[in-house]
A and B are shown apart, each in its own frame.
Chain A
Amino acid sequence: MRHVTTVAGRELRGLFVSPVAYGVLSLFSILGGVFFILYVAEFSEWVFRLQQMQAMEQLETLNLNDHLVTGFYGSMSMVLLFLIPGVTMGLFAAEKTNGTEELLLTSPLTVWDIVLGKFVAAAAFVTLLALIVGLFPGVLFLYGDPEVGKTLAGLLGVLLVGWTYAAIGCFASSLTRSQVLAFLITFVILLCILLVPAIADLGIASGAPGVADVLRWLSTGSHFEEMSKGLVDTADLAYFAVMIGSFLVMTRSVVESVRWR
């Protein structure tokens, strides 16, 4: 455990010495602001129209959580899909190009120390990104009254999606010594996971509902949607745990494979 924090601490410090961390944080904040303004503008437009149409019933059902925060979370999780590969691409690839892989693997560290240390660093950075996401709905509490539980559940969803992406990025980075390639591999895996529901629908059309169910379960999207609606289900939490766990186990095997006879 001590080694995990040592490896993670070094990784985080390395991230903040390079311009990558600041670039990602700035870009993410700016995009967050832009998306938030767009969603707020859309929401007030709705309110305005419904008031004009005197559609009181619909106006009653309109609320900040379902019609603003959920959409905003969805957009921000899409932004994560583009930014996290940039954060994780160097995790293992850079160790190989620096030659520091030899230092780590000849030190009294276990492969788990290294893999978990790397993941913890990436996850900590993603947590920072999730906190930025959280700031925006936070503003809503000053002017309106969104539901606290629902807002937090969605934020937890963003966090878990981010951690899952980080674990996938970890795995991709362990496969290659090229950071560009690590970025691309992560991106492709994330896109596949995103597109899986569409493939699942094809599966239904071709009459294989069992496969479709499995594929849909694999997709981050459906689990994230449940959470952003405010439903924190153990099954969804388990999904994220399984995804993160299995990608870390695979990463460990790849790193360990240098030592295979």
Chain B
Amino acid sequence: MIRAEGLSKRYGDVVAVDRVSFEVEKGEIVGFLGPNGAGKTTSMRMLTGFLPPTEGSAEIAGHDIFQDPIVARRSVGYLPESPPLYPEMTVSSYLAFVARIKDVPRTRRRDALDRSLERCGLTEVRRHVIGTLSKGFRQRVGLAQAIIHEPPVLILDEPTVGLDPLQIREIRGLIADLAAPAKGVDQQTVVLSTHILAEVEAICRRVILINEGRKTVDAPLSELTSGGRTLEEIFTRETLRDLAEDAAAEAERETPR
């Protein structure tokens, strides 16, 4: 469903993402893990076609996001780091607008709207102005916006950031539902980024860890934790190892002098 090949993003000399490649199969929920500033958001922006990669390519549902952008973008639901909301609009008029620009056919718009409101628990606030909603509700509107056109691929950038524990549980439940086979709806493929390890353990079946722009781990969760290690140990070891290597390289460079 998703194929990234050698995705790189450089800003001048700064390498934000360095040759990241991976594939995600239909119905998978993949956790994109990494410390802050590792390149998670940049990677996701490249997958959704918001940012062009300096090198490499990405395919969504068989369409190259840069060669065939309109078709590819139709297949993606994207929740950016901060939900892209118009504060002056009401929840339902906002979602109706999104349904239109995401090419939901006219006859299905009503259903799509009701369905996304219901799935994200927004039915009661549908007439509320977005600017007056709490952070939790705004996040849910952001999620509703991502799923309204029932895209085969969902890309969620830190979907539970800033929510209280109860809301986090709800959102996680919702994400798990999206990828679960259900009547009448196709399974969705989900890539979500987070630095909350418990989140990955709760909903993801596979983990991709990136650190300093490079992919360091890509394995099913069960395999990673099979040796009795916790995800936290792996995370710490991988991110610290890079730091240690950097320090070693630094030291090496300095010794000849």
Contacts and interface: CB of A to CB of B under 8 A. Distances in A.
Interface in A71-112: 98-110
A61 interface: no
B89 A6 contact: no
Residues of B contacting A: mostly: loop
Contact of B101 (A18, A108, A259, A260): A108
A17 interface: yes
Interface centre among B74, B76, B100 (most CB of A within 10 A): B100
A261 B54 contact: yes
Contacts of B87: 98
A110 B98 contact: no
Interface residues of A, number: 26
Contact of B89 (A17, A101, A109, A260): A17
B51 A107 contact: no
A14 interface: yes
Contact of A106 (B73, B97, B100, B103): B73
Contacts of A105: 49-50
Nearest to B82: A99
Interface in B96-148: 97-98, 100-103, 145
B80 interface: yes
B101 A109 contact: yes
B52 interface: yes
A13 B84 CA distance: 17
Interface centre among B78, B84, B87 (most CB of A within 10 A): B84
Contact of A102 (B50, B69, B70, B74): B50
A161 to B, nearest CB: 29
Given A106-B49, A106-B50, A107-B73, A98 B85 contact: yes
B80 to A, nearest CB: 5
Residues of A contacting B: mostly: helix
Nearest to A2: B100
A258 interface: yes
Contacts of B101: 3, 6-7, 103-104, 107-109
A107 to B, nearest CB: 5
B84 A110 contact: no
Contacts of A6: 97, 100-101
Contacts of A3: 100-101
B26 to A, nearest CB: 21
Contacts of A261: 52-54
A10 interface: yes
A232 to B, nearest CB: 37
B194 interface: no
A255 to B, nearest CB: 12
B170 interface: no
A106 B78 contact: yes
Contact of A99 (B48, B54, B80, B93): B80
Given A98-B84, A261-B54, A103 B145 contact: yes
B10 to A, nearest CB: 10
Contacts of B49: 105-106, 259
Nearest to A260: B52
Given A18-B88, A108-B70, A103 B48 contact: no
A124 to B, nearest CB: 17
30 contacts: A2-B100, A10-B89, A10-B97, A13-B89, A14-B86, A98-B84, A98-B87, A99-B85, A100-B84, A101-B84, A102-B45, A102-B80, A102-B84, A103-B78, A103-B98, A103-B101, A105-B49, A105-B50, A106-B73, A106-B76, A106-B78, A107-B73, A108-B70, A108-B71, A108-B73, A108-B103, A110-B70, A258-B50, A259-B51, A261-B54
Given A108-B101, A258-B50, 9 more contacts: A3-B100, A7-B101, A14-B86, A14-B88, A102-B50, A106-B49, A107-B101, A110-B70, A259-B49
Interface of A: 2-3, 6-7, 10, 13-14, 17-18, 98-110, 258-261
What are the 4 A-B residue pairs with the smallest beta carbon separation, nearest first?
A103-B84, A100-B84, A17-B88, A6-B100
